[in-house]
Amino acid sequence: MAYDFDVIVAGCGPAGAMAAKAAAQAGCSVAAFDKRKELGAPVRCGEGIGLHWMDELGSKLRDKAISAEISGSVLVSPDWKNKVTIRNAETKGVVVDRKVFDKDLAMDAGRAGAQIFAHSEVVGVLKDGNMVAGVKAFVDGKPQEFRAKAVIAADGGESTIARLAGLNTVSTLYDTDFGVEYEMVNVECEDLIEVYFSVADAPRGYVWIFPKGKDVANVGVGIGGMQSPNAKHYLDRWIKAHPERLGKAQTVAIKGGLIPVGAPMTEGAVGEGIIVAGTAAHQVDPIHGGGICLAMEAGKLAGEVAAKNALAGTTDRAHLLEYARIYEKGPALKLLKRLRMRKVLEKLSDDDLNAIFSHLDDKDIDNLLKSNFAAVVGKMGGLLMSRPGLVKTISALA
């Protein structure tokens, strides 16, 4: 069989760029296709990431990719009476500029030897029998076929490539969040991410203010897919209701998108000759919807497994399942724990949330967010005695 590349990556966001780099570093010939003219743009993201990830992923952030440094987060109760500030090594982060950040990741892949095809949409998959054997992509406006031993689908929430290959990557409406965000100026910012919980203001989600500079911020809302009206309605209403915080703010950009917040895919993300990585495989934090670094982590793993098997001539599903086996022992375990927590959080009323905020201190809330449930459940005795209705909900965490 003649192949144009060992590995083809469809979609060159954080997952795809990391996959392309890892496969090229492993010695494969790699092509990465992205439909965008300019990688990273338009931005559809709050752009917040934890700094610890960069070391873990062996990735370096260029100063130019950083819009603002973050020392921690402020979590605000629905009634605004309680604010919890968490600052520790794990909350150190940055708000990146994804127009720079994504392009930097693609440049790293290019430097490692991957061939990058920007403005080249993948519109089909090639098959040899039941084996995925490449892609059909529009390059320079013309449809062309590119054969490869393995394909990595990293095309984000739309996840059309995996579906073209016959994998079911649909995220149900219940397990999908919708996010809308304005980039705003005249927003006074500290080096803290602000998170506002309120079922009334953001059902199954939260409102966020992520600083992008001294007076610039991403202001957004994420809500569950079954909610109506739409996320923009909730965001506009929240901004209008809080003139003390955003009265002078002006919108300079509108962004939005969907976020799969159900269980991350593992075995289901692997087919004959194909691996799915990143948001396309629902590898997103189910509570806050963050997925940039999770996508990078999964993409790197997908690139390594695809490369190893492409070089050995073993890109059948049985061999590529190594990706799922590694993923389910590590990242998926954490995400499934977070999913359990999300399912508890979404049952709480604003009244419950206000009571929890007033009973727990900063450390407890931090524990809760790190899924250290046992430590927190013990501390909640008094609260649970006064709110028997909460017992059943919270006991799901023990």
Ligand X SMILES: Cc1cc2nc3c(=O)[nH]c(=O)nc-3n(C[C@H](O)[C@H](O)[C@H](O)COP(=O)(O)OP(=O)(O)OC[C@H]3O[C@@H](n4cnc5c(N)ncnc54)[C@H](O)[C@@H]3O)c2cc1C
Q: Using CB under 6 A, list all residues that contact ligand X.
A: 10-16, 33-36, 44-49, 121-122, 154-156, 158, 160, 179, 181, 220, 256-257, 259, 278-280, 284, 289-292, 295
**Residues 6+ away with beta carbon under 8 Å from 216:** 67, 183, 184, 185, 187, 189
Kindly state the smallest distance separating residue 354's Cβ from ligand X, in Å. 26
> Rounded to the nearest whole angstrom, what is the least distance from the CB of residue 261 to ligand X in the complex?
10
Across the beta sheet with 216-224, what order do the strands follow?
83-86, 72-76, 192-196, 206-211, 216-224, 176-185, 250-260
Alpha-helical (H) ranges within 242-330 are 243-246, 292-312, 317-320, 322-329
Q: Which is nearer to ligand X, 137 or 356 (CB)?
A: 137
- Minimum CB separation from ligand X for residue 342, in Å? 15
Q: How far is CA 58 from CA 33, 51, 274, 297, 335, in A?
A: 23, 12, 25, 10, 21
Closest separation in Å from C-beta 258 to ligand X:
6
Q: Which is nearer to ligand X, 162 or 360 (CB)?
A: 162
Nearer to ligand X, 94 or 307 (CB): 94
The nearer residue to ligand X, 257 or 273, going by C-beta atoms, is 257
Min dist. Cβ of residue 145 to ligand X (A)? 14
CB 30 within 8 A of CB 6: yes
State which amino acid sits at residue 270. Answer: V
In terms of CB distance, is 262 or 387 closer to ligand X?
Answer: 262
Q: Supply the minimum distance, in Å, between the C-beta of residue 255 and ligand X.
A: 6
Angle at 168 between CA 167 and CA 174, to 5 degrees: 160
Place of tokens 């392009």: 103
- Nearer to ligand X among residue 17 and residue 249 (C-beta): 17
Tell me the sheet residues that pair with 49: 94
Tokens 């708000």 belong to residue: 95
Min dist. Cβ of residue 207 to ligand X (A):
12
Q: Are 86 and 106 in contact (CB under 8 A)?
A: no
Integer Cα distance of 94 and 33 in angstroms = 28
Whose Cβ is closer to ligand X: residue 254's or residue 375's?
254
